[in-house]
Structures are given as structure tokens and as C-alpha cells.
Amino acid sequence: MENHVVIIGSGPAGLTAALYAGRSKLNPLLVRGELPGGLLATTDSVENFPGFPEEVGGVELALRMEEQAARFGARFLETMITRVDLSRQPFRLTTSEGEQIAAQTLIIAIGASPRKLGIPGEEEFTNRGVHYCANCDGIAFEGKRLVAIGGGNSALDEGLFLTRYVSELVLVHRRNELRADPILQERALANPKMRFLFNTTVRSIEGDEVVTGVRLMDLHSGQEEFLPTDGVFIYIGHEPNTALFRGQLDLDPAGYIRADISTRTSVPGVFAAGDVADPRYRQAITAAGDGCRAAMEAARFLADLPAKALV
């Protein structure tokens, strides 16, 4: 059986696409993937999603969005997509169990993953003091001292955002100078709450129930020291989850899917929504907006197909 709309990814972009496709009577199939709820489900508390003045847990928000989409006929499949063929329509997708899924339109909403340092304590303390999004989690550290890691635009932009809350932000960078845009550097260096440690790396993140500090190493002297901190925010870049689509879709140099303002990709009938095509904002609300546009564009694409193709 062919599916009118198949959605890969179950974060805000994918779930919103499922909602809108369902309301269009397209009976969409959403493949949940490796992390149901996407990165949203890894956030303990969401305070910046409209409609939730008392905040909401990331898992709870994802479940509510899923229930809403299911109400309008969205179907959900617990599996991973391991191979895609976009060379012909219907598109062919292969699951981790080897099953084939046919799709007349495809919405890709599989997001991007924060690059990890790969050091001791990082995985252990994720969401217990180790975070990757200032807008999502910064307010929880009001009046605290934080460590931020990185030297590019994301590190400084998010670091400046964190200074709204914290008493001190120590930015650790392995090079001897920042790589961010000059205007961001000027703002950061002039901010009295920001302190910089250059030519320094974080060797480990330490704590008990939550983060209590980081172990640093000076790259010139090799000397190590322990720096107490209440949390660590890591900004060494994101990696879009686009390996499946290399050679089949037009990607930018960083690997993000190139999509226009309507979420259309280089292959007609394939749409990209959320962080998989957005290296700048990476917010639940912007991803949801993309999901809405993708589903509406998929409906318009299907409406233009010959009637016999919609059996």
C-alpha cells in the first residue's frame, strides 16, 4: 500500500506535520525513529512554547502533540529508516526490519544532533547540569556559575543569553582567539559577567547527583585544575542527521538539507522541516512552523497529481 504522506522524525516538526496532514485527510504515517519526541524529549522543562505559561516537560509536550495528531488520523510506526530511494515516485523507504514503505510525498524532520565532546561525565550528567540549549535550559541556573565550551557564533550568542540569568559565565575555548563574528566578540568581551579561558580544554565533567565542576587542562603548560561550576553548556556545533540523503538531496556544505521558504527540497514531493534544514534557530516553535508548512505543501503537491495516483 502506498502512503500519501510519510514523515520521518517525531519532534515538533514531524508531529506538527502529522497534525496538519491528518487534518487534510491524508492519513499520514509518522516513523518515530531512534528518539521519540526528538531533542524536545531530552529537555526537562520547556518554558518558551506558546500556550504553556506554567512550563511543560519536554516528554509531556511531545506526547500531547502526538495525541493531537493521532486524533486526526495520524499513524505511528516504531522503527528506524535505514535506506531511502528518492529516484522515483512513489519514494521507497526501508526500515531497520527490512520492510518497504512507499510514499507519494516525504517530509523529513529528523533534526540535528549537538556535537558531543566525548569526555567523561558528559553523557552521565546530560540534563543534570550538562546542556546544549541556553533558550531551553538557561533560566534554571539563575544566580549560578556556568561554564560554556566553544568559541564560535553559537557559543558567544548563547553565552550572552545565559548572562541574563547567571552570576558568572566562564567560556572555555581550545584556541587562543575566538572564531565568532566580530560584533559578537565585542559584546562578549565587554560583558562583565563573562570570563574567558583560552588555550584550555575540558578533560572531564564531574559531580554526584548533578554537575559540581569541570577538570580543565592548559594546552600550553599541560597543567590541570578543577573549576567548580553549577552547569556546563556545550556549543561546539550541530550535525544534521542527513547521512541517508547524501547524493539524493541538495545539501549545504555543513550537511543541512537545502529547502526553500516553503520547505521544498531539490526533489519534488520531498520536504524538509525543522532542525534538519535549519542551522540557525533550532527551536521547538520554529520547527513546528516548518512542520505546518511542509504538510500544507505536501497536500498541495498531492492535489496536483493525477487522480489515479491517489488510490
**Catalytic entry in 44, 85, 137, 278:** 137
To the query of whether residue 136 is one of the catalytic residues in this protein, the response is: yes
Give CA–CA dist 155/171, Å, rounded: 8
* 90: preceding bond cis by omega (within 30 degrees): yes
To the query of whether residue 292 is one of the catalytic residues in this protein, the response is: no
Q: Are 221 and 208 in contact (CB under 8 A)?
A: no
Extract the C-alpha cell encoding 218: 592548559
Give CA–CA dist 274/291, Å, rounded: 7
Burial class (CB in 10 A: 0-12, 13-18, 19+), 298: buried
Cα 240 to chain center, whole Å? 8
Q: Name which of 304, 276, 208, 280 is nearest 13 in CA terms.
A: 276
**Catalytic entry in 44, 133, 252, 260:** 133
List, by residue number, the catalytic residues: 133, 136-137
